[in-house]
Amino acid sequence: MEHRKGARKVTEIPVEIVELLNKGYLQTVNLTEWLAVDHLTLLENVLNELGFEQEAKPILQRLNALSEKKIMKLIPVISREWQLLFDCKSELERSRLFAVLAHHKSDSVRC
């Protein structure tokens, strides 16, 4: 799966690949796969993976309430939510979280 050739259309991406991308278990291999990622689902999965289940609910509520959910509008808002979460943590915890996100398997998370 790691060395797959990316699909040319979103509809050609196998369901299993999309599920793994949305869980953060795979990185995308092309723009088509990146566009197929449900970044809100991915965010929820990563927040849960990192033990932020409690923080996930209000973050996702704010993001789901957005009127504009196109990916290029959503990514900066997700980034701001991460920043707000980081701001509530100690310097040591921020460093740890940054390292985890910077080395995450998912390229969307690293973004």
Q: Please state whether 90 falls in left (phi above 0), alpha (psi between -120 and 50) or beta.
A: beta
| DSSP strands (E only) in the chain | none
Residues 64-85 pLDDT 10s: 999 988 999 999 999 999 999 9
Domain ranges of the chain: 38-110
Q: What is the pTM of this model?
A: 0.91
Are 41 and 78 within 8 A, CB to CB?
A: no
d(CA 26, CA 23): 8
d(CA 83, CA 12): 35
Confidence class for position 3, pLDDT limits 50, 70, 90: confident
Residues 16-37 pLDDT 10s: 999 999 999 999 999 999 999 9
d(CA 4, CA 47): 27
pLDDT at residue 8, rounded to an integer: 93
